[in-house]
Amino acid sequence: MKVLRLVILSVAILANISVLNANSEKGVAKVMKVRGNVFYSQTKKPLAKGDWVPEGAKITTKARSFVKLLFIDKSNLTLGANSEVEVEQFPKKKAGIINLINGQLRSKVSKNYLEIDKKKSKLFIKTKTAAMGVRGTDFQVNFNPTNNNTTLITFEGAVAMGSLTNFKKSRFLQDRLEKVVSSPTSVMVRQGQLSGVMPKVDSKPMAPVKINKQQLKALEANDGSKTSSNDDQKKSEKKQMSRNIIPPGMDSSKFSGAGGSEIMGQMAKADASIKIPSAQAATTIASSRVQTKGTMTEGGYVDTNNVLYIPPPKNAPVDPMTNEVIVPIQMGSFDKDTGEYKNDFYVVNENGDMIPKDPVITVNRIPASDGTAPELVPTGPINIFDQDEVDEFDDPIGAPIPSDDTKPLDGGPDIMETTMDDRDQMLDQTNTTSTNRARVKVILDRQ
């Protein structure tokens, strides 16, 4: 019976390969899924499911649109919204060359399907400023033609990245691209890391950095078919933020009738029972974040629209339980469904400038000792490439006011309030509900 199943499976695979090879005369990729306004750039002809895309074709997607392609080497590529790509070359016995003209693509490249030298890249993705050599992995590339920035995020495996900023021509053969991604200035971007070529900062690829783990998960879960609504973004910009010390994901009714001081006291007792890393462990965490010259601070966010990396301050605190950098809320956050970067306090442009929004959105917090509300954002714009300006966000800000209590919290040392504030920020941004439930369980058990 097992032998019969293997025979049937082998026949099905061979049949599928035969169909792909037979249809490859019509094109090199088949449209597996399409949504919205997707068309050939040259003719404006819409793409439909089942169509074969020929070599040399350029494809454009508009807002809230995407297309998923299956190539003859069994690799797939999803072109996100507001993007354009060109299938430059896709020969059977050489690596294919895909040119991302604008926007975002996500690709999962199969291993060892075509007869290609295993020591060489089996697919090249390139933009105006960067080339990436792929041998079998899952990754995402973004390119912004306004600032010519290219970013690469690797979800699985590793991708080699080299710079094309010093080349005047835009067409390359496979051998030349292989030399670019194998040059001494190229970098290897591994799982969970980001690198990029940002010509206004450096002609070489930036040293790979690990990005925020929760944004990485959200981006990995989105193959490019999910997009954020502009209307939803505008609503979030207008909404005044408020903070709640009850961890997200928990039933607030469990705490009904309890004042802020009581909740804070119970949470302080619960935290006292949680093991904190030793001094040696804390030193290890800190040493893992020491910056090398020419690198950016790890643990930040990726702005896939402007194609930027938003680094946290150098001395941003690290949650001892998750080893995750606690990014100041002014530096932004991300959409948990799509992974897209968002910021309620600043407008971020393609040059990396963070310009305070007008009116400035503030968080509901305890007034300062002089009776005035604490400033949450600097008075002027900052630039993410200026580390000194980014480090302005390193100053601690006041403790949150609980939603069920109008009076300032009393009792407990200031360090506890600051610690709870930092934990609250972290939980709001990462939605680590398993940790929250464990902590609240301790609280409820004590009541």
Average pLDDT, the chain: 75
Q: What's the average model confidence in pLDDT over 314-321?
A: 86
Q: Give the per-residue pLDDT at 382.
A: 86
By mean pLDDT, which of 74-83, 117-126, 154-163 is the weakest?
117-126
- Select, from the ranges 56-70, 167-181, 354-368, the one with the highest average predicted confidence (pLDDT): 56-70
Q: Give the per-residue pLDDT at 1.
A: 55
Interval 352-371: pLDDT, tens:
999 998 765 555 444 444 55
At position 204, the amino acid (one-letter code) is K
User: How far, rounded to the nearest angstrom, does the alpha carbon of residue 254 sit from its chain's CA centroid?
Assistant: 35
- For residue 273, is pLDDT > 60? no
Q: Are 403 and 409 in contact (CB under 8 A)?
A: no
Confidence of residue 379 (pLDDT cuts 50, 70, 90): low
pTM exceeds cut of 0.75: no
Q: Give the per-residue pLDDT at 277.
A: 42
Residues paired with residue 105 on neighbouring β-strands, in sequence order: 79, 141
Q: Give the per-residue pLDDT at 405.
A: 40
Q: Which of 302, 314, 316 is nearest to 352 (CA)?
A: 302
Alpha-carbon distance of 390 to 321, in angstroms, equals 25
Q: What's the average model confidence in pLDDT over 346-350?
A: 93
Query: Is the pLDDT higher at 399 or at 328?
Result: 328
Q: Are 312 and 213 in contact (CB under 8 A)?
A: no
Confidence of residue 399 (pLDDT cuts 50, 70, 90): very low
Query: Is the pLDDT higher at 385 or at 260?
Result: 385
Contacts of 116 (CB under 8 A, 6+ apart): 93, 94, 95, 122
Interval 134-164: pLDDT, tens:
977 899 999 999 999 999 999 999 999 999 9
Q: Which residues of 132-160 are buried (b: 16+ CB within 10 A; e: fewer)?
A: bbbbbbbbbbbbbbebbbbbbbbbebbbb
- For residue 9, is pLDDT > 80? no
DSSP 289-324: TPPPTT---SS-EEETTTTEEEPPPTT--B-TTT--
Looking only at the bridges linking them, the beta strands covering 308-310 and 353-356 are: unpaired
Question: Is 428 strand, coil or helix?
Answer: helix
Q: Give the per-residue pLDDT at 226.
A: 81
Q: What's the average model confidence in pLDDT over 406-435?
A: 49
Contacts of 285 (CB under 8 A, 6+ apart): 277, 318, 320, 323
Q: Are 52 and 21 in contact (CB under 8 A)?
A: no
Query: Is the pLDDT higher at 162 or at 231?
Result: 162
- For residue 220, is pLDDT > 90? yes
By mean pLDDT, which of 65-79, 297-311, 430-444 is the weakest?
430-444
